């Protein structure tokens, strides 16, 4: 039983690793579409009611829960140092999403900053301490 479970987790591992950055992009795509759908709405109870009628909100909530579940699997299967580069990749994907899907402007300073952040996130996954506190749930 335990062996079967190990085999299954070995199969799931690469899938979940790829899923993390992809889910990050999907979450932020839903968030951006939600923000666009809610433009012009004044904050308040009416705002909340309107938000719950936006399909992107429900997609966003669903994918966030899926992300949390996937992240739990990642952390139970992998050391942080192995999981962290993947979260850095997620940030790169989301920045690229803004530039491509939403046609946002790019500056050189922004590219330099994004690169420094990616290296920083990767460095935070310390190889010397493989099992420690869970990092922030990305995305």
16 vs 28, beta carbon nearer another protein? 28
Q: How far apart are alpha carbons 28 and 98 in whole angstroms? A: 9
Is 99 a binding residue for another protein by CB under 8 A? The answer is yes
CB atoms within 10 A of CB 29: 19
Q: How far apart are alpha carbons 51 and 44 in whole angstroms? A: 11
Is 106 a binding residue for another protein by CB under 8 A? The answer is yes
Q: How far apart are alpha carbons 105 and 13 in whole angstroms? A: 36
**CB of residue 92 vs another protein: minimum separation in angstroms?**
10
Name which of residues 12 to 51 contact another protein (CB under 8 A): 28, 31-32, 34-36, 38-39, 43, 51
Is 105 a binding residue for another protein by CB under 8 A? The answer is yes
**Distances in Å between the alpha carbon of 90 and those of 11, 41, 46, 51, 85?**
21, 30, 34, 26, 9
Q: How far apart are alpha carbons 98 and 69 in whole angstroms? A: 25
Region from 2-10, 14-22, 126-134 binding another protein, contact rule CB under 8 A = 126-134
Interface residues with another protein (CB under 8 A)?
Answer: 28, 31-32, 34-36, 38-39, 43, 51, 60, 64, 91, 94-99, 102, 104-107, 109-110, 112-124, 126, 128-129, 133-137
């Amino acid at each position: 039983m335990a062996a079967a479970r190990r085999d299954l987790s070995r199969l799931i591992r690469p899938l979940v690793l790829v899923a993390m950055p992809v889910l990050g992009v999907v979450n932020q795509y839903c968030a951006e579409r939600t923000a666009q759908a809610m433009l012009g709405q004044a904050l308040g109870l009416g705002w909340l009611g309107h938000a719950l009628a936006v399909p992107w909100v429900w997609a966003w909530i669903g994918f966030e829960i899926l992300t949390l579940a996937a992240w739990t699997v990642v952390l139970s299967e992998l050391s942080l140092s192995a999981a962290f580069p993947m979260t850095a990749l997620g940030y790169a994907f989301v920045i690229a999403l803004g530039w491509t899907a939403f046609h946002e402007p790019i500056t050189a300073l922004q590219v330099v900053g994004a690169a420094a952040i990616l290296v920083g996130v990767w460095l935070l996954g310390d190889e010397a301490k493989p099992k420690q506190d869970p990092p922030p749930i990305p995305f």
